[in-house]
Amino acid sequence: MSGIRLTSPVTELRGIGPAKAAALQKLGAAKVGDLLRVFPRAYQNRGDVKTLAEVGEICRSSPGTGLPVSLELTVASEARLANIRRGMSILRFKAFDDTGVAEITYFNQPFMKNVFHTGGVFRFWGKAELRGGKITLTNPLQEAAGEGKKLLPIVPVYPLASGLKQKMMQQLVGEALAAARTELCDHIPPDVLKKNNLCSIGYALENIHFPADTEALAAAGRRLAFDEIFTVSAAMCLSKKREKSRSAPVIKADIFPLISRMPYELTGAQKRSVGEILNDMAKNEPMCRILCGDVGSGKTAVAAAAAYAAASAGYQCAIMAPTEILAKQHYADLAPLFSSLGIESALLCGSLGAAEKRRVQQSLCGEDAPRLVIGTHALLSENVEFYRLGLVITDEQHRFGVNQRAELRRKSHGAHTLVMSATPIPRTLSLVIYGDIDVSRLDEMPPGRQKVSTFRVDESYRERLLGFIDKQASEGHRTYVVCPSIEEKEEQSDDAEEMFDLSLAPTEEKEPPMKAAVSYAAQLRERLRVAKVGFIHGKMKTAEKDAAMAAFVSGETDVLVSTTVIEVGVNVPEATLMVIENAERFGLSQLHQLRGRVGRGRDKSWCILVSDTKNETSARRLEVMCSESDGFKVAEEDLKLRGPGDFFSNGGEFRQHGSADMRFAASLTDPGLIGDAVDAAKALTAADPQLSSAENAALSAIVGDLLASSEDTVS
């Protein structure tokens, strides 16, 4: 069809009225060009046509597995329709190939009678079963086949919304691809494509929708993964250049008075980070820096040094924490220290009484305002006005909501910003995940920290493990037990339309069944002789959670069974044992975070990874945990072994980039490509900082959209 352009509204496509347009809108497609990015959620390998003899063999050797198969069959007999009950019908006929005969059955699809006539050839896609020795297909999908018919070898399966059908989606995407063929030009320069052995955008889109074969599909996925990282990186580089072109207060201060009052000497990593921060703040452009370090690596002391520099230079510094517990902890740590240096501080959080809150809010603005303000997102309330805000520090920024981050950005306009994070991110991913902000790493623990001894065990150790938990309890120590799910659930979805998934993700081998927190806690209660067991999970009410947590903190219970929702920042120094069930299910960074909950007191601590996995990669990942205690190294290994998926998804923590969801990048099995994409983007934006050259026009448009969408969402 001519006249359809990528920028045309979808309503210009044949058959698309307001209702279908609304459904397409739900999938993110308002314009024809958007259809190109409604990617299949799976594929059916219908081109892999089997003979009935082969299918019979499969059914006999592994009965009940029910993988869908593709068969090309000729209808042998006229289809017979029987009404078995009111509103219930069965359509039945036989069909054959050179190797045998199958029985085909359709329930409640009487209209199919007109589709099948003796001698007609069809490609069927469905699950085959042996019934009384006969191969049977029930409600298979069918396409007319035979001479002159071109059928797709690999059929895309699209996400749908009400009123949309697979065949219609295929047709719509086909029309979008036709428009793309004449209109689309590649936004990645030819030399970058060549160097990284990537296919063109046209080829990638054609083959991600209608793959010629599995190799073409893989090549398309690789190109699109590179693309995601490349465009986000380019956007990040540009956004930093813009940020840096603003002006910020020049802060030069002597922090010796503060350092000399600290009860310990800063570690080398802390000194280096403080140096990097002071250096940034002494420039008249805003600092954009993240301070990364494991739990316990001493981020607070570094933040204190930065805050002191700002405060003693006459500027206000705001420190924002994701929870009241953490805000109060910072306040308790810092207020006395700053007060001894003649600097006043204030605490602002939600639980203050209304009058008190108003008093603090009013005190923040004006000549004699406290120079250090610590709080929760209450700091973002519209009633809060700062006075000469010079520095904003956020702890665990990823735990703030999207709107809160946008609000924070507005409030801290023109100030230096420092973000603190305990989630170690591999170096190659930091640009893509944090944006092009500078990174300071606390990769050295304060002296005297003990390592948490980490072991992997399997089910055969169960008795000994229980004995060990009891022993800890009898010595007054506490144990965390983490399970991957809350309740037992059926793991297999048995959707009739479910299909052989040819997605690009590496196929996971079957893992052992999941331990569930609730039933597991009940079992432990029965089997432990000494230890008392409590549990906590994400679906409990806040009051119940608080009660369970308080019982564990006070020692009323010795064992806390939980899903991964244990509050960050909850500090139980008596906890000496972390048991993680189905450890193979967790990302390494997550395991590392969990391990960080123990070893906070004086006593020797352990982390026991329970896993029966036979999967080689899973086993290797668990070995990394046992031998490595540095969070950054753990993260690098995780990236190498599992690809970047966990870092991009992580419960949504890092989905920072508006429309870029890193869908293809997340299933990259070749992490080397990430670094290459980042480097290519850096080089390109260095050479053309405004993306103003003609060759970069297409990229400039994409990056512009990306920045616009992340501007109204997040930092």
454 interacts with ligand ADP by CB under 6 A:
no
* Binding piece for ligand ADP, criterion CB under 6 A, among 202-210, 299-307, 538-546, 642-650: 299-307
40 interacts with ligand ADP by CB under 6 A:
no
269-288 mask for ligand ADP (x: CB under 6 A)?
-x------------------
Residue nearer to ligand ADP on the CB measure, 589 or 618? 589
**C-alpha distances in Å from residue 337, one per residue of 265, 306, 372, 420:** 15, 14, 11, 20
Residue nearer to ligand ADP on the CB measure, 337 or 580? 337
Query: Which of 662, 601, 668, 635 shows the shortest CA–CA distance to 421?
Result: 635
Residue nearer to ligand ADP on the CB measure, 221 or 293? 293
* Binding piece for ligand ADP, criterion CB under 6 A, among 76-84, 263-271, 398-406, 531-539: 263-271
698 interacts with ligand ADP by CB under 6 A:
no
Chain CA centroid to CA 351, Å: 32
- Least CB distance to ligand ADP at residue 420 (A): 7
What is the largest distance, in Å, between two alpha-carbon atoms of the chain? Answer: 96
Candidates 267, 345, 472, 485; binder of ligand ADP (CB under 6 A) is 267
139 contacts 116 by C-beta, under 8 angstroms: no
Query: Which of 415, 351, 359, 419 shows the shortest CA–CA distance to 384?
Result: 359
Candidates 45, 297, 430, 605; binder of ligand ADP (CB under 6 A) is 297
573 interacts with ligand ADP by CB under 6 A:
no
Order the strands of the 316-320 sheet from edge to edge: 345-348, 372-375, 316-320, 389-395, 416-421, 288-293, 438-442
Residue nearer to ligand ADP on the CB measure, 270 or 700? 270
Residue nearer to ligand ADP on the CB measure, 391 or 406? 391
Candidates 152, 266, 457, 465; binder of ligand ADP (CB under 6 A) is 266
215-254 mask for ligand ADP (x: CB under 6 A)?
----------------------------------------
296 interacts with ligand ADP by CB under 6 A:
yes
Query: Which of 385, 409, 401 shows the shortest CA–CA distance to 711?
Result: 409
* Binding piece for ligand ADP, criterion CB under 6 A, among 82-90, 192-200, 262-270, 613-621: 262-270
Residues 388, 391, 396, 402, Cα dihedral to 10°: 50
Q: Which helix (H) or strand (E) holds 271?
A: helix 268-281
Residue nearer to ligand ADP on the CB measure, 107 or 264? 264
Candidates 105, 300, 363, 713; binder of ligand ADP (CB under 6 A) is 300
Phi, then psi, of 98 in degrees rounded to 5: -65, -15
As a whole number of angstroms, the distance between CA 596 and CA 594 comes to 5
Residue nearer to ligand ADP on the CB measure, 216 or 422? 422
* Binding piece for ligand ADP, criterion CB under 6 A, among 91-99, 261-269, 353-361, 465-473: 261-269
Q: Which helix (H) or strand (E) holds 464?
A: helix 462-474
* Binding piece for ligand ADP, criterion CB under 6 A, among 148-156, 296-304, 408-416, 677-685: 296-304
Residue nearer to ligand ADP on the CB measure, 248 or 307? 307
* Binding piece for ligand ADP, criterion CB under 6 A, among 66-74, 260-268, 362-370, 451-459: 260-268
* Binding piece for ligand ADP, criterion CB under 6 A, among 295-303, 342-350, 604-612, 649-657: 295-303
* Binding piece for ligand ADP, criterion CB under 6 A, among 97-105, 121-129, 292-300, 499-507: 292-300
298 interacts with ligand ADP by CB under 6 A:
yes
Alpha helices per DSSP H over 351-461:
354-363, 402-411, 427-434
Task: Give residues 363-422 in contact with ligand ADP (rule: CB under 6 A).
Answer: 422
633-662 mask for ligand ADP (x: CB under 6 A)?
------------------------------
255 interacts with ligand ADP by CB under 6 A:
no
301 interacts with ligand ADP by CB under 6 A:
yes
Instruction: Residue 449: count other Cβ atoms within 10 Å of its Cβ.
Output: 13
Report how many residues bind ligand ADP under the rule CB under 6 A: 14
Order the strands of the 559-562 sheet from edge to edge: 453-457, 606-610, 575-580, 478-482, 559-562, 533-536
Show the beta-strand stretches assigned E in 35-150: 42-44, 49-50, 68-75, 80-85, 88-97, 100-107, 121-131, 134-138, 141-144
Residue nearer to ligand ADP on the CB measure, 267 or 361? 267
- Least CB distance to ligand ADP at residue 605 (A): 15
Residues 373, 374, 378, 380, Cα dihedral to 10°: 60
- Least CB distance to ligand ADP at residue 536 (A): 22
139 contacts 147 by C-beta, under 8 angstroms: no
- Least CB distance to ligand ADP at residue 262 (A): 8
As a whole number of angstroms, the distance between CA 86 and CA 92 comes to 18
As a whole number of angstroms, the distance between CA 304 and CA 372 comes to 10
- Least CB distance to ligand ADP at residue 301 (A): 5
- Least CB distance to ligand ADP at residue 293 (A): 5
3-state helix, strand, coil in the chain (%, to 5): 40, 20, 40
**To 5 degrees, how large is the angle CA 659–CA 660–CA 662?**
145
Residue nearer to ligand ADP on the CB measure, 21 or 266? 266
* Binding piece for ligand ADP, criterion CB under 6 A, among 28-36, 84-92, 297-305, 642-650: 297-305
- The letter for the amino acid at 313 is A
Candidates 67, 77, 99, 264; binder of ligand ADP (CB under 6 A) is 264
- Give Cβ neighbours of residue 446 (< 8 Å, ≥ 6 apart): 264, 267, 296, 297, 298
Residue nearer to ligand ADP on the CB measure, 267 or 710? 267
Q: Count Cα neighbours of 465 within 13 Å in the Cβ-side half-sphere.
A: 24
Instruction: Residue 540: count other Cβ atoms within 10 Å of its Cβ.
Output: 16
426 interacts with ligand ADP by CB under 6 A:
no
- Give Cβ neighbours of residue 363 (< 8 Å, ≥ 6 apart): 346, 369, 370
- Per the listing, tokens 């403080």 go with 274
569 interacts with ligand ADP by CB under 6 A:
no
Phi, then psi, of 488 in degrees rounded to 5: -60, 135
* Binding piece for ligand ADP, criterion CB under 6 A, among 217-225, 289-297, 463-471, 678-686: 289-297
Task: Give residues 127-186 in contact with ligand ADP (rule: CB under 6 A).
Answer: none
As a whole number of angstroms, the distance between CA 162 and CA 20 comes to 8
- Least CB distance to ligand ADP at residue 392 (A): 17
- Least CB distance to ligand ADP at residue 13 (A): 55
293 interacts with ligand ADP by CB under 6 A:
yes
Instruction: Residue 250: count other Cβ atoms within 10 Å of its Cβ.
Output: 12
- The letter for the amino acid at 77 is S
As a whole number of angstroms, the distance between CA 379 and CA 145 comes to 66
As a whole number of angstroms, the distance between CA 648 and CA 661 comes to 8
446 interacts with ligand ADP by CB under 6 A:
yes
Q: Which residues make up the interface to ligand ADP (CB under 6 A)?
A: 264, 266-267, 270, 293, 295-301, 422, 446
